[in-house]
Structure 1
Amino acid sequence: MTIILRFVDCNGFIRERFVDIMSVVDTNALTLKQEICKMIDNNGILVENMRGQGYDGASNMCGSWNGLQALFLQDCPYAYYVHCFSHCLQLALNGVAKDVKVVWRFFSMLTNIVNFVSAFAKRCNELNLIRKVELKELLDSREFETGRELNQGHSLKRARATRWGSHFASITSLMSLFKETKILLQEISEHGPNQQFRGDAESNYIAMMSFEFGFASLLMDKIMGLTNFLCQGLHKKTQDIVSALNFVENTKSQFQDMRAHGWDDLFMSVVSFCEQHGIDVPDMRRFYYS
């Protein structure tokens, strides 16, 4: 359990300090309360002076009757509970994504691809070797820029259900290693150790090389680049409610501008991405019948 204290110093400034990481035998609300009170007492802080609590939405933390916040409210009637702002945003975005079928299919395929490649250290090493070969060829042809902090080593990152920022990191990691991942899946589908591995690699390769997956990748990368900026803003130590609302309003304006004027640029970037990686682009001028 991680404990962080937020307080007002003698000069009236809001401060936030990491205090301790504590080992607990279980995550019951009563156990957590006892450990927190022990830490507070050891540091000479009065529990009665508590004026706020901030946790995520787990039942043992925010439960109205037996949650940690309810137990502290019995001792400190002014210790109001506030659900973490950035965590609320992450959960809301995650819930909205589940209601959009195309987006939900994209994240399901993304998770399958990342898990398949990252499941074994041998596959990660093979991916790194392919990456080194690609970088060497680019260096020899002088087709990309070199310099400090450029062309860093990458690995595929998994998305977490309650960490929306991790979804953005998962997308960007796959896009930066798209060609290498494609080559690796092709090799496993042809020379895998058994039929199951070869079949799984081929199905992931087919999903990855579809226009729908390529389009969703760039769309979500664009959208989540905006929401990631908002998430980072909400994580600032000096954040207040007025600044948070300004961040939200600014993000909404950017989304509205993207909806009104961003289609052409997005589609051109999708076509360029598909051509670069050999993904078939459907003819948008043809008539389609459902």
Structure 2
Amino acid sequence: MAIISRFVDKSRQVKEHFLGMSYITNTCVQSLKDDIDAMFSTRGLSISSLRGQGYDGASNMLGEFNGLKALILRENPHAMYVNCFAHQFQLAIVSVTHRNCMLGDLFNVLAIIVNLVCASCKRVDAFRTSYQANILEKLNIGELTSGRGQFQEMSLECPGDTRWGSYLLTITRFINMVNAIIDVLENILEDGVHLDQKSSAVRQMNAMQEFEFNLRENGWDTLLSRVIEFCVDRHILVPNMEDIVVVKGRPRHVAQQVTYFHRFYVDLYCHAIDSILQELNDHFLETTTELFTCISCLSPRDSFAAFDKNKLLHLAQFYPLDFNSEELLLLRPQLDKFFCL
């Protein structure tokens, strides 16, 4: 178990120190708590001084009643638990892709394409060569502008449930490298030895030529414009949004008949947004969200545009050991003075 402390020093600078690692032979909650107490005591620290704690998503760490978080909160109710935001965001995204069959199909196709393109060193070399040629062509015709650090060598990666940001990275790189991907799939179709790989290349190329596949990679805020532009540039058929579409995978006499607009906007976009909001509410505790909302008011961005005195006063109320009633009364004029400076 690794333990890292974050604190504010005497010069009011936020510091983060690696306290050490402890070899865990027993992962029960009390054993973990005893190891933390031992490491704290050897460094002259105390649980009572904690004002926050954070762990991964393991149940023995953040269990509401019997987890390590709850055990520390019983000893020090001011050690507010803060989610590992990157981990919680990843869990929310993974859950949504599993619940929405259209998004699940998208990432399944992406994984198959990545495995096909990166199955051998020869294909990887062909992929890199094609990507570099596409970049040079766009630079020559003025579609792209060169600059320091741009167009560095990239590779395709499959999305992973435990790799933070991998879903976004996979889609972003796929969009940027789509022409090179098509070139490699065409090479597999023409020069492939195994029939199953050639058949898979044909299926994935056909999938990439569907409007629905490309729509799933863009936000609805663009109102189809970016998707339509992307499809037109690659000669992908764009359906009429008012036409009726029969949902695949069901007999025609029982299948629900809806318009393309309903399928793309309601069944895909709105369902995905609603699922994401529900998952975020499930993964982020109300107290934690409230804490970060209050702390964000201290951001100096745009000349403290987010400054909110009432929220900061509410933040101080979370820590009665640090702000008594008299100090809370004095805090309001102090915040006014801070903002004027």
TM-score (norm 2): 0.59
User: What SS does structure 2 have at the residue aligned with 1:4?
Assistant: strand
Deviates more, 1:21-30 or 1:45-54: 21-30
Letter paired with 1:212: E
Instruction: Specify the alignment match of 1:274 in structure 2.
Output: 231
**Contact in 1 for aligned 2:22/2:35 (Cα 8 Å):** no
Unaligned runs of 5+ in 2: 247-256, 258-341
Instruction: Specify the alignment match of 1:247 in structure 2.
Output: none
CA distance in 1 between counterparts of 2:147 and 2:134 reads 17
Identity rate of aligned residues, in percent?
A: 34
Deviates more, 1:43-52 or 1:28-37: 28-37
1:115-168 Cα distance to aligned partner (Å, 9 max, x none): 443455543333112212323444555553223233222222332325663322
Letter paired with 1:213: F
**1:126 aligned to 2:126?**
yes
Aligned length: 246
Instruction: Specify the alignment match of 1:69 in structure 2.
Output: 69
Letter paired with 2:16: R
Deviates more, 1:271-280 or 1:28-37: 28-37
**Contact in 1 for aligned 2:73/2:80 (Cα 8 Å):** yes
Letter paired with 1:158: C
Distance verdict in 2 for CA 1:121–1:280, change over 3 Å: same
CA distance in 2 between counterparts of 1:82 and 1:207 reads 42
Letter paired with 1:125: D
Instruction: Specify the alignment match of 1:171 in structure 2.
Output: 171
CA distance in 2 between counterparts of 1:126 and 1:29 reads 51
Distance verdict in 2 for CA 1:166–1:287, change over 3 Å: closer
Shift of 1:39: 4.2
Distance verdict in 2 for CA 1:93–1:143, change over 3 Å: closer
Instruction: Specify the alignment match of 1:146 in structure 2.
Output: 146
Distance verdict in 2 for CA 1:135–1:36, change over 3 Å: same
1:165-211 Cα distance to aligned partner (Å, 9 max, x none): 33222211100001101111221233234233323333322222221
User: What SS does structure 1 have at the residue aligned with 2:54?
Assistant: strand
Distance verdict in 2 for CA 1:23–1:204, change over 3 Å: farther
| Structure with greater Cα Rg | 2
User: What SS does structure 2 have at the residue aligned with 1:157?
Assistant: coil
Shift of 1:51: 3.4
**Contact in 1 for aligned 2:86/2:164 (Cα 8 Å):** no
User: What SS does structure 2 have at the residue aligned with 1:55?
Assistant: coil
**Contact in 2 for aligned 1:51/1:79 (Cα 8 Å):** yes
Distance verdict in 2 for CA 1:143–1:73, change over 3 Å: closer
Instruction: Specify the alignment match of 1:19 in structure 2.
Output: 18
Shift of 1:274: 1.0
Unaligned runs of 5+ in 1: 223-257
Shift of 1:288: 5.1
Distance verdict in 2 for CA 1:284–1:95, change over 3 Å: same
**Contact in 1 for aligned 2:159/2:167 (Cα 8 Å):** yes
Q: Cα RMSD between the aligned structures?
A: 3.4
**Contact in 2 for aligned 1:182/1:205 (Cα 8 Å):** yes
Letter paired with 1:177: M
Shift of 1:32: 5.0
CA distance in 1 between counterparts of 2:119 and 2:90 reads 26
Q: Which runs of 4+ in 1 moved over 6 A?
A: none
User: What SS does structure 2 have at the residue aligned with 1:217?
Assistant: coil
Instruction: Specify the alignment match of 2:196 in structure 1.
Output: 196
Distance verdict in 2 for CA 1:80–1:268, change over 3 Å: closer
CA distance in 2 between counterparts of 1:104 and 1:185 reads 22
CA distance in 1 between counterparts of 2:216 and 2:54 reads 34
